[in-house]
Amino acid sequence: MKRTDKIGYLVLGGLLVMVLAAGWFFGLRSRNSNVCDICQRQIDPRARVTLEIGGKRKDACCARCAITEALQERRPVRLIRVTDYATGSALSPDQAWFVDGSRKVLCSHDQPMFDESKHAEHLAFDRCSPGAYAFARRQDAEAFARANGGAVVRLNELMVGVPR
């Protein structure tokens, strides 16, 4: 076998590996569309948020996760689409009523944290808490707030202090 043939096979093999790796990566990404791009938790269909932060579009598990990311990273965030908690339908954030400060948190950890003596630690911070959920109808938001706490607000009130 000639040396040029060996180099050609190596290059061809390398390209094949790159194509397979890219296919695996993008295939895995499409299968994990129910995982939050920010905190890697499962996305509850009633709380899904599509946002743009740092010029990139992402899916988040809830509005609070998106807001926390913007505050921590000090980067502008824009909510593009939210999900009506009551119906699961997509909704423009400008049209939504939000319940902010709710006791209901759909984004929970699946494993408890333990201290050095193997006792469960008290959770001092969770990026998705307190809950913030969107509703298409004010009446639905008010009923949710009565049952779960929180205040009914519009998008501009929810985004106070968040870079835009």
* Cα radius of gyration (the chain): 21
Phi-psi bin for 123: left (phi > 0), alpha (psi -120 to 50), beta? beta
Domain total for the chain? 2
Give the pLDDT score at 39: 85
Q: What percent of the chain has pLDDT over 90?
A: 45
Residue 74 shares a structural domain with residue 8: no
pLDDT digits (tens, 9 = 90+) for 49-58: 999 998 899 9
Domain range for residue 15?
Answer: 1-31
In a domain, 121, yes or no: yes
In a domain, 122, yes or no: yes
Residue 25 shares a structural domain with residue 68: no
In a domain, 137, yes or no: yes
Residue 51 shares a structural domain with residue 132: yes
How far is it, in rounded angstroms, from Cα 29 to Cα 134?
26
How far is it, in rounded angstroms, from Cα 132 to Cα 74?
20
In a domain, 164, yes or no: no
CB neighbourhood size of 152 (10 A): 19
How far is it, in rounded angstroms, from Cα 46 to Cα 62?
9
Residue 21 shares a structural domain with residue 50: no
Residue 112 shares a structural domain with residue 125: yes
Q: Tell me, what DSSP letter sits at residue 152?
A: E
Q: How confident is the model at residue 106 (pLDDT cuts 50, 70, 90)?
A: confident
In a domain, 149, yes or no: yes
In a domain, 163, yes or no: no
Give the pLDDT score at 104: 86
pLDDT digits (tens, 9 = 90+) for 7-49: 766 767 677 777 776 666 665 544 457 899 998 888 999 999 9
Mean pLDDT of 103-109: 74
